[in-house]
Structures are given as C-alpha cells and as structure tokens.
Amino acid sequence: MSEPNSASLYVVATPIGNLADLSPRAAGVLAEVALVAAEDTRHTARLLRHLGVQVPMLSLHEHNEAARVEQLDARLAAGESIALVSDAGTPLISDPGFVLVRELRARGRRIVPVPGACALVAALSAAGLPTDRFTFHGFLPAKGGARRAQLEELSTRSETLVFYESPHRIRDTLTDIGTVFGERRLVLARELTKAFETFLEGSAAELSRRMEEDPNQARGEFVVMVAGAPPREKGAGGEVEGEALLAALLAEGAGVKQTAAVASRVLGGAKKAWYARALALKEQG
C-alpha cells in the first residue's frame, strides 16, 4: 500500500469478469491489509489465489453487515487496515458495504476508495445512449406489480435510466418495460468483460424476440439501459394534443385504464392524472 498513514478501510473494486482488470493498486492493497471483508469468502478466495496472496478473510454480506461493524471497528482501532470487497465490481453499488462505511465514517475512521471496475459505468461507456445525465436504480423489484409501479414512476424521466437484472427475471422485466415504455430504445449489456460479452439494442419487444429465438441471450448478468422520455409538449398545444389522444383512444373502444397508460407513455405525466381526464371525457360522452 502506498498511502496508509493510519489504519484504514479500503473500499476495493474487483474485476467483474476479466481478472486483468484488477488494478495494480488494488492488488497491492489486498496483499498488505490485515483482513479482507468479503461478500462471499469462497469467491474472493479464488481472486486471492490468482494473486498469490494469503490474507485472513471475514464474510460481510447483507444479512450480517450491521453485526460486523463493532468487530471491524475494533480491528481498525487496533491499527489494522481492512479491505472491503464485493463479489464483483465496486462495493456498495447494489452490493453490501453501505452500512459499514456509513458507521465507520461517523466514528471518524479513515475510508479510502480504490477505484476500478463497475458494471454500470462499463455498460454506459459502450452503449451509445446519452451519458451526460443518467440515473441508476439498481435491481427492480422482483414482483411484477411492484416492478411495473416503479417503472411507471420513472416513465417521464428524461435522462438515461440504468438497472441491473438477473438472468431468471430478464424476460419478465423486458415485458414490463415494453408495457410501460412502449417502443423506447433499450440497450442490454450482458456478461461484461467475459468471453460472451454482448450488447443488444432495440425496443423491449424486439429484445424479447431475440431471446425467444436464441435463449443464450438470456444468460448472464445484465445491465439494462433505457433511453429517457422524449421532450413533452408544453402549454395549450400540449393540452389539446392530450385531449385529442384521449378522445381518439376512447372512440376506438379502449378502456379508461388502458387509455391513461398510453397517454402517460406517449405524452408523459402521471398515469393517475390521465386516468382522471379520460374518465371525465368518457362521462361526457
């Protein structure tokens, strides 16, 4: 380690696939700390063996993180530096570590980032979607209703939206994205830095068809990137356009709920507000 003047917690980014992505600085920290706090010690043991490093490890994951704070704080107080790692990428980014870092920082402990691989940054850098503004939302809810509700809340956001998703939920997630966002452009980054790294681009429906045709495209861990909502019409013109769209959909026999959902996707705005306006139009005949 090049800089520890006192005991520190090093937040160390590790490879998301390609082991060559581990920085020399990260390798040096892992070799010299007194302890490695790892999300899965078995997984991290393989990385340490690759480096030829033997250092004690302690598990730190979402189920025991709060209980580990006192133990790790005591090690720091005794002058021992610690490395915090997750299974892949940068700790705390949809991985354990937030509770530990927050509590140790509140106690005045030295927290040192050792940057490196991060799946969301790697995916955005090669996706061809706008990156001047983006928001990261981690994993969407596992249950369909909650997942669609969160997507509805994000449907009017104009920045690029970024999510993580697992292989066993990617198809359901694409279905819900298509329901809420319609034909909006998506980019899926799969198996980043690994042998079968793939970028898939298209609408949610198009990408779902790709996975039906080639089930291998549904394997691996995903970064899901969705283009932001198009600019909304403002002022009286937008109001007229909205009323015209609602009237046209109702005239074609669409239900009030379906009409509100389409208007929200096309023109933006809260689905509940469109529902109220569509219901009022329907009651007016």
**Using alpha carbons only, what angle is made at residue 85 by residues 48 and 47, rounded to the nearest 5 degrees?**
20
Shortest CA distance to 31 belongs to which of 99, 84, 98, 83? 83
CA 118/CA 92 separation, integer angstroms:
11
CA 118/CA 124 separation, integer angstroms:
10
Shortest CA distance to 168 belongs to which of 139, 148, 192, 194? 139
pLDDT, one tens digit for every residue, the chain (285 residues): 444 447 999 999 999 999 999 999 999 999 999 999 999 999 999 999 999 999 999 999 999 999 999 999 999 999 999 999 999 999 999 999 999 999 999 999 999 999 999 999 999 999 999 999 999 999 999 999 999 999 999 988 999 999 999 999 999 999 999 999 988 999 999 999 999 999 999 999 999 999 999 999 999 999 999 999 887 655 444 566 778 888 888 888 889 888 888 887 777 777 788 888 888 888 886
Q: Which CATH number is 120-226 given?
A: 3.30.950.10
The residues spanned by each domain of the chain are: 8-117, 120-226, 235-283
pTM of the model: 0.80
Considering the four listed CATH numbers 3.40.1010.10, 3.40.50.150, 2.30.130.10, 3.30.565.10, the one that applies to the domain covering 8-117 is: 3.40.1010.10
